[in-house]
Every structure is written in C-alpha cells, then in structure tokens.
Amino acid sequence: MSIRRIACLLLLAGSAAACGDDPQIKACQDGRDPRKQLAACTKVINADPKMGEAHNNRCFANNELQQYDKSLIDCNTAIKLDPKNASAYNNRGVAYEMRGEFDPALADYSKAINLYPKFATAFANRGDVYSKKNDKERAISEYRRALAIEPSNQIALEGLKRLGAR
C-alpha cells in the first residue's frame, strides 16, 4: 500500500461494533491489497448501498489502483451518506490531487481538517498540493503541522526532504 496515498481507514466506533465477524466487511476495511479490498467493498455495497464507510473504503482502494474517476464517485457517495466523514473528504482530495485538480483537493483536505483537526495525513497531503503549486513556504508549514501531530508521518517527512527543509 502506498504511504503517499494513505487516507486513514477510519472506522466510526458505532460501525466497528456493528461489523461483528463478517469476513466481507473485514476485507472491505483491509487496505493492504487494494484489489481484494475493492472486490469486498463492492459486495458489501451491493448488499447495503447505504453503508457509507464501504463507499469510502472502495474510494481508497480505487485511489490505490489509480482509478480516480471511480474514486470520486465512491467518495461523493460516502460524503452524501455521512457529511462528517473526514476520511472521505481526504480520500476525495487524493483523487482530485492525482488528477491535477489542486483547488478542489485543497478544499477537501481543509474540510477533512475542519472535521478532524488532528488529521496529520490531511495536513501532509495539503502540503503536497502546495508543493505542486510551487508554494514552498506553505508546503513546509503544512508538513510541519502534520509532524507536530504525528512525528513519523512519512508523507510529511518525504515532503520536507524533497524541499530541502528540516
């Protein structure tokens, strides 16, 4: 799984308790193999189209497989089903960023941070977008904010190294 695109497979406490031992749901939550995750999430969604976290996890898997148009569809559905899902905004931001749509990516990363102010990966992802927009100062600031929350965040560490900052 690419550290670059880690979007935090967050489970809400309520949904985790409801999952029980269902192997399809567990496979849908497991991001180690995006192809298996994609297949499992599709089965979960077919059984319950209103399971927002399954759409979010399938969005993540599609991002890993570089299927960004498909990612956007699932993230949009996840957000529609649960507008407070910070992970879905972050995942959608990744899809936009990888498509070169930096302004919508920044908006989604910012929304993710507004919903979950300690979302280190969203800060680091926002740093990557600023770096791609050649705004080195803002990129460094975002990477440092990510590291203040999560000192081992690889996206931020790699970003600072790439920019020649500490």
Q: What is the pLDDT of residues 66-116, one digit of tens each?
A: 999 999 999 999 999 999 999 999 999 999 999 999 999 999 999 999 999
Q: Which of 128, 94, 88, 96 is nearest to 112 (CA)?
A: 88
Total residues found in the chain within this entry: 166
Q: What are phi and psi of 112, to 5 degrees?
A: -60, -40
Q: Tell whether the model's pLDDT for residue 23 goes beyond 90.
A: no
CATH 1.25.40.10 range(s) for the chain read 3-101
* 3-101 to CATH, choices 1.25.40.10, 3.40.50.2300, 3.50.50.60, 1.10.3720.10: 1.25.40.10
Q: Which of 92, 27, 24, 30 is nearest to 56 (CA)?
A: 92
